Amino acid sequence: MPIHSKLPAIGTTIFSVMSTLAAEHGAINLSQGFPDYPCDPALLDALAAAAHAGHNQYAPMAGLPALRAAIAAKLLLQHGTAVDADSEITVAAGATQALFTAIASVLQAGDEAILLDPSYDSYAPSILAQGAKPVHVALMAPDFKVDWEQVEHAVTPRTRLILINNPNNPATSVFSAADLDALAAIAERHDLLVLADEVYEHLIYDGATHQSVLTHPALRARSFAVYSFGKTFHATGWKIGYCVAPPALSAEFRKIHQFLVFAVNTPAQHALAAHLADPASWQGLSAFFAERRALLAPGLESAGFKLLPSQGTYFQLADYSAIRPDLEDVAFARWLTLEHGVASIPVSVFYQQPPAQKIVRFCFAKQTQTLQAASERLARLGT
């Protein structure tokens, strides 16, 4: 029987490719965005306690009430934003599932959704799976600032959604208050919805603050905002996140959510609810990761890389044109892994039409010794 693929051009993600290559050749894996250090022992103890207490059956479809209440309390403390835990917060099986669910809940076949490239690799396939069309607007190095006139020019009568990633993975750029104003003006003028991927909300550096769509009244009324406990609490394998949206959007979100996963890991939800009771669990993350950014930078620079601004996320972009100008970035990432034992991610894969640039991405969410070992290997490039 012939199979008519919904995603005929989609293969294995670059993250799986590079992580597999790193494992096969004993390279230090700075490609995929996951920590190699343990979670907070208190969080693990809370998980074990919840399981032993018998919290091992289905949770409510929208999420454990205690966890949704803890999320609402966090948002009030963090942003001064009041969110109704019952009608506006839905716990999801990771941010990627939340993003897919939000896209599926509002896009019909023939609709269009605007993406800002470089964009995370799940966005476009999630749009295509609905029979909708991703419309790409390119952001350019070194600062990857959004040209909002270009965004508005991309709007057509079929446009339904604008998807933003703030802080941006892989661009590491962050939105200003003026960016939110510009986005809101376009969304209101054309009656568009907004999907804000804010999973790196706590990872912003150098005195900047996170500008969330939840803090902007015009955007708050028409936005899905998606978050990740895996990113916040160094537990990417737990695959738990959540979506915040107005009641009408949350209702549509839950219609899809209940038939994708129905409910999310119950003992982990209990553990996260308990962990969120202490704001210190998330308030020091910027300083924590800024130290790791500073550890990796000297090794990259001594190897001959030119560092681009890393304003947010736990990634560092680096221009390698002074090292191997003869190689495109996919080939360079493979060469660096095989010949020098450090795995990275080529940035071109995050574009529909890659610009002429030679940039790779490194993850610094690693132990001190991992970053030091990677820096030592990279330093040999400069000798």
Q: Which of 252, 185, 248 is nearest to 219 (CA)?
A: 185
List average pLDDT for each run of 10 residues in the chain, which is 383 residues long: 86 88 95 92 98 98 98 97 98 98 98 97 97 97 97 98 98 97 98 98 96 98 98 96 98 98 97 96 95 95 95 98 96 96 96 93 96 92 72
DSSP string, 234-302: T-GGG--EEEE--HHHHHHHHHHHHHHTSS--HHHHHHHHHHTTSTHHHHTHHHHHHHHHHHHHHHHHH
How far, rounded to the nearest angstrom, does the alpha carbon of residue 55 sit from its chain's CA centroid? 29
Provide the whole-model pTM.
0.96
Span 74-128, pLDDT tens digits: 999 999 999 999 999 999 999 999 999 999 999 999 999 999 999 999 999 999 9
Rounded-to-integer distance, Cα 71 and Cα 98, Å: 15
Domains of the chain in start order, with CATH, are 14-32+284-382 (3.90.1150.10), 57-277 (3.40.640.10)
327-332 contacts at long range (C-beta below 8 A, 24 or more positions apart) = 327/358, 328/358, 329/357, 329/358, 329/359, 329/360, 332/358, 332/360
pLDDT of 11 reads 82
